[in-house]
């Protein structure tokens, strides 16, 4: 493609699973406009993103170019299941090591700058240090990828702005504190990125006006000088069907269950639960009498391909008993979450409320039993339960590692899967799913925002 017509896009995700996956999904969307996309990360994290990729065929998109850069080895401690703060401190050494991507990323940008009319960098806000050298290139510009939702960022910036008058002031005053959501080290890492954010040309959000247009408008009022686009969900709303021999065993188990009868239980890639809490979940799920798939795995380490992963113990005979009874299935490895949520038998999701999981659940019409652990998750849970009314509360946010008793888990499962209230929530979830599907279709609000962004980066001046 000639230099005067080409736009090259470079994706620079943060080194955590929820971020890696979101920008890989966005790569698919942008490449569909016949724009070459260069997805970059460390060798380890490229392997991680590729091995866990789901929902569409990466190999079918020859316009997505994967660049894996070696970085010095980093030593990460094992996750601490008994830590008072659930933020994944074990990943901090990997996050800190991301700075070693700065030089190879700059070399790639320089190379692309010589052959492209414009180089567009889309980077996680936590990778601003890595991409900072783009300012030396005359035809490069950057856009911040905000990995959470407009509701969270509006509440955050509203507080920083001195809590100005807002139509949602009553709710904002009642939001859970961010105390215990982050560590001192993680905030210091965030602050190092802040100085470089001023060089960006706009922000991209993995959200949709179909979900939270009101809060996106309020956020724009606080940041009226910034260009912002709500182009989510990035994940596909219709799932790529794999051949039967490539399907995960849990999907085959789901094939034999009734519609909306199964609760999917997973707390993401950054949460480690104590042995006592795992026992309470096991008892609560079994005593609920409801069908379930439980992804029981420890939090990610900095390198997920190293050995010595903690395997949590369950009561003697528990796994065999629930499987033989047809009540449930324990998954110890990586689970195809999008495919599980898209399955007709899945009727609920007990979740930590990471934004990626929330979006995937909403786009598949599955209500959520909320159990936030850290970061943006407490406020995501409020959005789900109080604003959108798409879920129930398993545990309200507290900044400590409080035990949730088995009877509480049992009651939450029954309420979501086997109650009139749960049925009503499910109807709202399905209605929102339909709205989200319309939003990403041609002429939909998210598609129009994506079209607008593409037109913007293709502009002639």
Token look-up 């005053």 returns 173
Closest to 107 in 3D by CA, of 131, 128, 126, 123:
131
Does the annotation mark 124 as catalytic?
Answer: yes
53: left (phi over 0), alpha (psi -120 to 50) or beta: beta
In 179-290 the beta strands, taken as DSSP E runs, fall at 203-205, 228-230, 262-266
Listed in sequence order, the residues at least 6 apart from 174 whose beta carbon sits closer than 8 Å to its beta carbon are: none
Q: Burial, 147: exposed, middle or buried (Cβ in 10 Å; 0-12, 13-18, 19+)?
A: buried
Residues 6+ apart with CB under 8 A from 116: 3, 6, 7, 8, 139
Catalytic residue among 45, 124, 196, 374: 124
What region, left, alpha or beta, does residue 268 occupy, with left being phi > 0 and alpha being psi -120 to 50 degrees?
left
Note whether 248 and 334 are within 8 A (CB). Answer: no
Q: How far apart are CA 10 and CA 145, in angstroms?
A: 12
Task: Find where tokens 């990828």 sit.
Answer: 145
Q: For 350-387, b where at least 16 C-beta lie within 10 A, e where not — what string?
A: bbbbbbbbbbbbbbbbbbbbbbbbbbbbbbbbbbbbee
Cα separation, 346 vs 264, whole angstroms: 7
Give the DSSP per-residue string, 31-57: HTTT--EEEEEEHHHHHHHHHH--SS-
Rounded to whole angstroms, how far apart are CA atoms 452 and 437?
19
Supply the residues annotated as catalytic. 19, 124
């Amino acid at each position: 493609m000639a230099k005067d017509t080409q736009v090259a896009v470079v994706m620079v995700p943060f080194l955590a699973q929820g971020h890696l996956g979101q920008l890989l999904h966005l790569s698919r969307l942008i490449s569909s406009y016949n724009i070459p996309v260069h997805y970059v990360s460390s060798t380890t994290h490229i392997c991680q993103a590729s091995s866990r990729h789901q929902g569409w065929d990466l190999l079918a998109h020859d316009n997505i170019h994967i660049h894996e850069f070696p970085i010095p080895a980093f030593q990460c401690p094992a996750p601490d299941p008994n830590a008072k703060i659930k933020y994944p401190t074990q990943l901090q050494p990997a996050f800190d090591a991301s700075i070693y991507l700065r030089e190879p990323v700059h070399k790639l940008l320089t190379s692309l700058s010589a052959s492209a009319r414009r180089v567009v960098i889309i980077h996680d806000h936590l990778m601003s240090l890595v991409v900072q050298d783009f300012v030396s290139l005359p035809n490069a510009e950057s856009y911040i990828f905000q990995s959470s939702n407009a509701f969270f960022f509006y509440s955050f910036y509203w507080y920083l702005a001195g809590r100005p008058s807002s139509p949602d002031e009553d709710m904002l005053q009642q939001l859970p504190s961010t105390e215990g959501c982050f560590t001192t080290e993680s905030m210091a890492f965030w602050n190092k990125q802040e100085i470089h954010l001023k060089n960006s040309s706009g922000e991209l959000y993995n959200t949709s006006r179909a979900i939270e247009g009101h809060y996106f408008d309020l956020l724009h009022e606080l940041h009226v000088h910034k260009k912002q686009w709500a182009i989510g969900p990035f994940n596909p709303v219709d799932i790529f069907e794999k051949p039967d021999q490539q399907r995960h065993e849990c999907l085959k188990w789901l094939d034999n269950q009734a519609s909306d009868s199964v609760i999917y239980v997973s707390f993401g890639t950054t949460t480690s639960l104590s042995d006592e809490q795992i026992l309470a979940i096991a008892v609560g799920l079994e005593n609920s009498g409801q069908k379930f798939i439980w992804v029981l795995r420890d939090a990610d380490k900095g390198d997920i391909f190293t050995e010595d992963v903690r395997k949590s113990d369950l009561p003697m005979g528990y796994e065999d008993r629930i499987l033989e009874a047809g009540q449930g299935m324990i998954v110890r490895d990586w689970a195809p979450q999008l495919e599980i949520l898209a399955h007709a038998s899945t009727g609920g999701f007990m979740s930590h409320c990471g934004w990626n999981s929330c979006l995937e659940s909403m786009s598949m019409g599955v209500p959520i039993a909320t159990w936030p652990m850290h970061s943006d998750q407490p406020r995501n849970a409020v959005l789900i339960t109080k604003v959108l009314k798409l879920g129930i509360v398993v545990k309200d946010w507290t900044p400590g590692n409080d035990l949730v008793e088995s009877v509480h888990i049992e009651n939450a499962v029954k309420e979501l899967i086997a109650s009139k209230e749960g049925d009503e929530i499910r109807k709202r979830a399905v209605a929102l799913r339909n709205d989200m599907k319309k939003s990403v279709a041609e002429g939909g609000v998210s598609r129009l925002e994506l079209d607008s962004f593409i037109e913007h980066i293709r502009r002639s001046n």
